[in-house]
Structure 1
Amino acid sequence: MELKAEKQTLKALLAVDEQQFRIPPYQRPYSWTREQIDDLWTDLIENVQAGHFIGSVVLAAEDDARPLVIDGQQRLTTLMLILGAVRDACHARGMTNDVQQIEKRFIADDLANGDAQFKFRTGNANWPVFRDFTLRSVGDPLRKAESSALDKDMRARNRALLSNRDRIVSLLASHLEHLPEPGQEKWLRDFWKALLGKVELVVIAVRDLGDAFLLFETLNDRGLQLSAADLLKSHMLGEIAKRSAEEDVDQAASSWDGMLDDLGAGVDVTRFLRHYLLGYVPKVKKDSVFDQFKELVKDRGAESVLADLRTAAAAYGEFEAPAKAGHEQTSAVLKDLATLRAVTCYIALLPARRYLAEKDFVEFARLAEVLTYRYSSVVGRGTNEIEPVYHRAAKILHDSQGTRLAEARETLIAAMPDAEQFRVAFQRLEMGRQYLVRYTLQRIEQALHPALEKMVDVSTLVHIEHVMPQTLNKDWSVSLGSFADQYQEYVNRWGNLTLLFAGLNIPASNKAFEQKKRYYGDSQVKITQELCQYETWGPEQIDARQRWLAEVAEHVWRVYPVPHDQLPTLRYEHKTSLDDFRERVGALWPVIAPYATDTTAQEIRSLATRLPGHLAGHTDHSSLAGKIADGLTELLQGWEDYSHSDRRLVRAVAEYFLEPEDSAPDELPGGLDDDRAALIAAFAALDRQLPSCLQS
């Protein structure tokens, strides 16, 4: 590694003419917090005159005129914001020479056109705001001051930048207010000179971009400053940079950002990475996520790992936001899992989502829901005990690409607490987490009375009702009699809880049980109506009802294991539809194989939209091309039931038809015979009846 490291002042760093420091597009946007701004400001006010060391900056200087800032963008951006605020304060006091001296540090080449003139260029997300609000001179007609003129998206992307700029201006103004007016100019002059001349950094420059990433990773190897996700991104981009051009690194960075978009805002990226790893290795500590990914990158290659993470992130994003799934039953089960906070099962759901057809995935996810409810929600066993179970199921699905689904199901079923454990634990349950109570009562109601149409799953309409109220009033004290001493022990027991629509719950409130029964009788919820059969209400009735709820729940959350004799052995080799198709197309397979890539059900569905435009290019073979397109359309309509292997097969046939220059160019006589043969083989491999349009 060719490395040059030297301590420099901020002034020396910014002094080289015609040199522009650039933040690469793959760096995360400016994100310092108010607390970090306040800490730096305090340090500068107290120490800058004596000298202040602010840390290291890592540069990739393949091009001396345009070095990339690999590490240090947050600090450099903040120092430029401070210089900009001081420059504006000098301008307000008519300190023209000081303004000019500061602005010299903002300009790399005053003869350059456009953005090339500036000394420090942030990433694309922050650049228009940073340039127009800070770097432009006070006399520049393009200079901006009011963020209210920015559009909503621009303000959102630059919230931290704008907020910290305002905070720095406020801190500076507050400090100056405490100085006598004659001394303010001297303080400003001394301060900006000290900022440039006495703030010091260690500038580490390397020639190779890959070396810069390696150095960045080494400086942060204990994760004290960055998360495992930040370090992994840097490591993978560094590996790619060793063998590829800068534009390939940019493309990989865009793919990483796309992964984050697929995950969705607010998703714990490190948790996602850990769950991904647990599909392959049995144990992953949170602080070892980065180290284990380094081994994975070493074995598979950075590009392969990144592509696989993109696929996994799309599924994980659906788990976190079920509406993204685009399939009613899938969205419904993912919503129930989200209600249960059932994140641990995502370990096994990741390969399940990749390899299984929608129907099979829904059934597998429902099984995970039952296991979560019995094992964690009711019996209360810990995550550390269930993670290995989900790892084993995930590995089975990965290794078999979903074909050993029955074995994966049996792995989860084997971990289920038995009926007696479940009932005993259920009968001890108290209020605790409201979402769990609501979920339980809703599902019991829906299971007992599925024909009734009611919106018991809308929390704003349906409240959790305490039959014996949360406040023990005089009427209830008299009613309970000698049981009043047990009030606190029983008030939050699940047997004392039910569902009641808001319009009834509010007037029922703390009324006596006999009065409450009038409201319960008007309820649309059957398990609430049934409370009317009780003459009185107290600990005995609560115990009895909780035992009943436990018995019902044990039947609702129950899975009957798949018979052992139907499970394949570990050595069983399943012949997939893609294997069958490969044999049927014979010599055509080598040219079709590149199109048989992993794909989602939604991507299969979207292929149909490309067929009409493709047909326009087949005027000489319009009849046969139309028949093939009709057959493909029918094949694509089965997307909802296709397994991982089925989806690869269907995608291969569709993409092969959409490629005019295949093994037999389509424009030649007989040029569509190969496409027709592939389609016929696909119908046979999928065990689907060949459409009449392809039978002649």
Structure 2
Amino acid sequence: MKAETRELNQVLTTPTQYVIPTFQRDYEWTEQGQWALLFEDLVSAVDRLEDARAKAIAVNIPAAVLEKNVAPHFLGAVVCEQLPSSTGGVDKRTVIDGQQRLTTLMLVLRGVLDVLVERESELAGTIKRLLWNPAELKKEPHEIYKLWPRRKDRDIWKRIMDDETPPSGSHLYEQARRFFGEQTREVIVAEDGSDRSEAVVNALIGLFKLVVIDLEDNDDAQVIFEVLNGRQTPLSASDLVKNLLFLRGDFEDDSIVDTLYDQYWAEFDDEWWKVVVGRGHAARGRRDVLLSSWLTAVASHDVNVGHLYAEVRNYLAIGQRATADILAEIHSYAIAYATVYGRLSVDEPKLARSYKRIRELDVVTATPLLLWLRTVSSKELSTDEHILTVGAVESWLMRRALVNATTRGYGRTFVDVLRDAQKAAAEGLSIPTAVAAALNGFSKSLWWPSDDDILESFTTRRFYDGVLSRGRLRYLLAEVDRHLRSRNPKTEQGDFAYDDLQIEHIMPVNWEANWPVDAGDEAERLRAEQDRSQHIHRLGNLTLITGSFNGSQSDSAWDVKRPALSAQSKLQINAEVAKVDQWDEAAITARATNLAQAVGVIWPEAARFAV
């Protein structure tokens, strides 16, 4: 990476064309937002330059002596990447970051030029050399322009640059040229009537400075941008990848670019794809997550979304695949992603339920595998096999969550599973068997918990603010309730708004007043109280209640609270609780055992997935 601070004159004097990638965002700067402030900065620079020249005259020294000490105005950074250029022709660079400020500076120059031409100033030639390249160097007509905007803006840009009369339209380019021309007319003549043209031009091209960053072949633009932006907001790597793909230049006809964009990429402009998912340093837009999942799946290695741009660039360099084919493939993965994450419907209810449960666990490392499975043909993976495969992933994830197993290493784990699944598909073997075998073949830290492991966790671990977050705990109890209701033909059909339900301790946290322990001496009482405190937050003592539950009875004795829970019997998990005559530590353990049995059916052991 080469980073240099350059005057505007240095940036634009050489025969160079700065190309704005076709699918950069719209030009957005406005008079109220940036233009007025930018021109105020120019006027301040002109004043500083004139003050220095006046002082030089006053003390009878060359103006250049004091001009070199005039404070410049820094405009920020422009990040460029070299494009293939003809030998002896115009040098071309794509503007990866900074297109708003660079475009605006060109419009400032064009507005200033209008005024210089009106005044028949010789300085007009100086400005023209910064707007247009020498005609004898261009190989293509458009190479005459120092800045070449994205495709949709090129026609109006040519008019903005070439029309002698300032335009009257409402496009921001047109408004900007008029605005900067009008502002220049107001300042180019001093109060005493003297001409300030030279000071205006000198300040604009000599005191306005940019930090120009030229990327080299091994630079990661994504990391550089994050540093420039102070890492305050995660960079949309998808924008970089988009530019990388559409600037590859392997299209037979430029017109096909728009067609491919509309067909395969335009959907990513939708707000749903821009939503940030994940937490903390892992927070990224859905587009970035999709692209990292796609690349993980097709390259069969764990892709770091923080280096997505560099990873995609390396993949493209090695693979030598046609851009159109890659775009079509990404599009198919986008459909798969939208399906897995609930935006698109799933025809098979069992598959939809599995996706929803996996989403609840928020384990994005499984996403590449889930997306790849949706791209496999029905000849290689039938609907039943697909359901079985996703069910295995769901069971492995859920069971590990229920025993509080670590999620460390999940990225590499699911890449290994993906490789085994892809190998099975290539060899015509069973994909469900390959996935289940891979998940069940890891070391102890990544094991697939058994029914006994689940039972031990349910009967010994703290679940409330412990093994699971409250949101996941509510979801677990809701899934068990759905299961129990589906097994009981007498249960009223329908579904609860489980997200609106509250978690309730059956034996209350504040048990001392109404739930005395049965103990003899003081030592026995202390042991009993300690045992009770441990049981209070275990899964067997937790349930869900609706808004109709009388909260004032929450800490009441069992003979008072039991009827209140009985009134909640539409929830099947409460119907069984209300049948218990005495609610104590033994009852909590017994219910935990029943819940573990239900979980064993909802999320079966590994052996159930063998084909």
Gaps of 5+ in 2: 46-68, 112-117, 134-141, 177-190, 227-234, 276-284, 442-446, 518-527
Per-residue CA distance 1:22-59 (angstroms, 9 max, x = gap): 52323355699xxx99xx99999999933537455446
Larger RCO of the pair (alpha carbons < 8 Å, separation 6+): 2
Per-residue CA distance 1:206-261 (angstroms, 9 max, x = gap): xxxxxxxxx565443572226654554455455x4268554556666666625746
For 1:334, the equivalent position in structure 2 comes to 355
Give aligned pairs, total: 497
- Structure 1 residues 423, 328: CA separation in 2 closer, same or farther (over 3 Å shift)? closer
For 1:665, the equivalent position in structure 2 comes to none
For 2:316, the equivalent position in structure 1 comes to 297
- Give the residue type in structure 1 aligned to 2:423: D
For 2:430, the equivalent position in structure 1 comes to 404
> Which SS does the other structure have where 1:517 is aligned?
helix
For 1:525, the equivalent position in structure 2 comes to 571
> Which SS does the other structure have where 2:544 is aligned?
strand
Contact 2:222 2:308 in 1 (8 A): no
In the alignment, structure 1 residue 438 sits paired with structure 2 residue 474: yes
Counterparts of 2:155 and 2:583 in 1: how far apart (Å)? 68
Counterparts of 1:562 and 1:540 in 2: how far apart (Å)? 31
- Structure 1 residues 391, 125: CA separation in 2 closer, same or farther (over 3 Å shift)? same
- Structure 1 residues 31, 65: CA separation in 2 closer, same or farther (over 3 Å shift)? farther
For 2:455, the equivalent position in structure 1 comes to 423
In the alignment, structure 1 residue 362 sits paired with structure 2 residue 370: no
Contact 1:283 1:388 in 2 (8 A): yes
Per-residue CA distance 1:429-451 (angstroms, 9 max, x = gap): 23342331122111211222214
In the alignment, structure 1 residue 478 sits paired with structure 2 residue 486: no
- TM-score (normalizing by structure 1): 0.55
Counterparts of 2:157 and 2:596 in 1: how far apart (Å)? 61
For 2:418, the equivalent position in structure 1 comes to 394
Counterparts of 1:441 and 1:192 in 2: how far apart (Å)? 72
For 1:458, the equivalent position in structure 2 comes to 497
Contact 2:20 2:95 in 1 (8 A): no
Counterparts of 1:485 and 1:191 in 2: how far apart (Å)? 82
For 1:618, the equivalent position in structure 2 comes to none
In the alignment, structure 1 residue 320 sits paired with structure 2 residue 347: no
Instruction: Give the C-alpha shift of residue 126 in structure 1.
Output: 8.7
Contact 2:12 2:146 in 1 (8 A): yes
1:247-646 maps to which residues of 2 (within 5 A)?
A: 247=255, 257-258=265-266, 260=268, 264-266=273-275, 267-279=285-297, 280-281=299-300, 283-285=302-304, 293-303=312-322, 304-355=325-376, 356-375=381-400, 377-401=401-425, 403-405=429-431, 406-414=433-441, 415-427=447-459, 428=461, 429-431=463-465, 432-450=468-486, 451=489, 452-453=491-492, 456=495, 458-468=497-507, 472=510, 476-481=511-516, 492-502=537-547, 504-505=548-549, 507=551, 510=554, 512-513=556-557, 514-523=559-568, 524-535=570-581, 541-559=587-605, 561=607
- Give the residue type in structure 2 aligned to 1:531: V
> Which SS does the other structure have where 1:528 is aligned?
helix
Instruction: Give the C-alpha shift of residue 478 in structure 1.
Output: 0.8
- Give the residue type in structure 2 aligned to 1:25: T
- Structure 1 residues 327, 533: CA separation in 2 closer, same or farther (over 3 Å shift)? closer
> Which SS does the other structure have where 2:225 is aligned?
coil
Per-residue CA distance 1:433-472 (angstroms, 9 max, x = gap): 23311221112112222143455552454333343557x4
- Structure 1 residues 257, 282: CA separation in 2 closer, same or farther (over 3 Å shift)? closer
For 2:72, the equivalent position in structure 1 comes to 50
- Structure 1 residues 318, 298: CA separation in 2 closer, same or farther (over 3 Å shift)? same
1:203-242 maps to which residues of 2 (within 5 A)?
A: 218-220=218-220, 223-225=223-225, 229=238, 232-237=241-246, 240-241=248-249
> Which SS does the other structure have where 2:464 is aligned?
coil
Instruction: Give the C-alpha shift of residue 365 in structure 1.
Output: 1.2
Gaps of 5+ in 1: 89-95, 110-114, 146-164, 166-181, 206-214, 567-696
- Give the residue type in structure 2 aligned to 1:24: P
Counterparts of 2:583 and 2:369 in 1: how far apart (Å)? 44
Of 2, 7, 20, the residue aligned with 1:9 is 7
For 1:24, the equivalent position in structure 2 comes to 21
Per-residue CA distance 1:160-193 (angstroms, 9 max, x = gap): xxxxx9xxxxxxxxxxxxxxxx9xxx99x98997
Counterparts of 1:129 and 1:437 in 2: how far apart (Å)? 58
For 1:676, the equivalent position in structure 2 comes to none
- Give the residue type in structure 2 aligned to 1:411: A
Per-residue CA distance 1:617-638 (angstroms, 9 max, x = gap): xxxxxxxxxxxxxxxxxxxxxx
- Structure 1 residues 31, 59: CA separation in 2 closer, same or farther (over 3 Å shift)? farther
Of 192, 206, 224, the residue aligned with 1:197 is 206
Contact 1:464 1:497 in 2 (8 A): yes
- Give the residue type in structure 1 aligned to 2:476: T
- Give the residue type in structure 2 aligned to 1:301: Q
- Structure 1 residues 76, 281: CA separation in 2 closer, same or farther (over 3 Å shift)? closer
Contact 1:21 1:68 in 2 (8 A): yes
Per-residue CA distance 1:600-654 (angstroms, 9 max, x = gap): xxxxxxxxxxxxxxxxxxxxxxxxxxxxxxxxxxxxxxxxxxxxxxxxxxxxxxx
Counterparts of 2:204 and 2:585 in 1: how far apart (Å)? 72
Counterparts of 1:144 and 1:299 in 2: how far apart (Å)? 42
- TM-score (normalizing by structure 2): 0.62
Instruction: Give the C-alpha shift of residue 546 in structure 1.
Output: 3.1
For 2:525, the equivalent position in structure 1 comes to none
> Which SS does the other structure have where 1:421 is aligned?
helix
1:63-82 maps to which residues of 2 (within 5 A)?
A: 70-72=94-96, 74-78=97-101
- Structure 1 residues 284, 460: CA separation in 2 closer, same or farther (over 3 Å shift)? closer
- Structure 1 residues 219, 396: CA separation in 2 closer, same or farther (over 3 Å shift)? closer
Identity %: 19
Contact 1:344 1:383 in 2 (8 A): no
Per-residue CA distance 1:356-386 (angstroms, 9 max, x = gap): 23332222212211111012x1123333444
Counterparts of 1:442 and 1:393 in 2: how far apart (Å)? 30
Contact 1:396 1:408 in 2 (8 A): yes
Counterparts of 1:314 and 1:284 in 2: how far apart (Å)? 20
| Stretch of structure 1 that moved more, 55-64 or 304-313 | 55-64
- Structure 1 residues 104, 553: CA separation in 2 closer, same or farther (over 3 Å shift)? same
> Which SS does the other structure have where 1:383 is aligned?
coil
- Give the residue type in structure 2 aligned to 1:446: R
Counterparts of 2:70 and 2:157 in 1: how far apart (Å)? 24
Counterparts of 2:529 and 2:202 in 1: how far apart (Å)? 76
Counterparts of 2:296 and 2:574 in 1: how far apart (Å)? 43
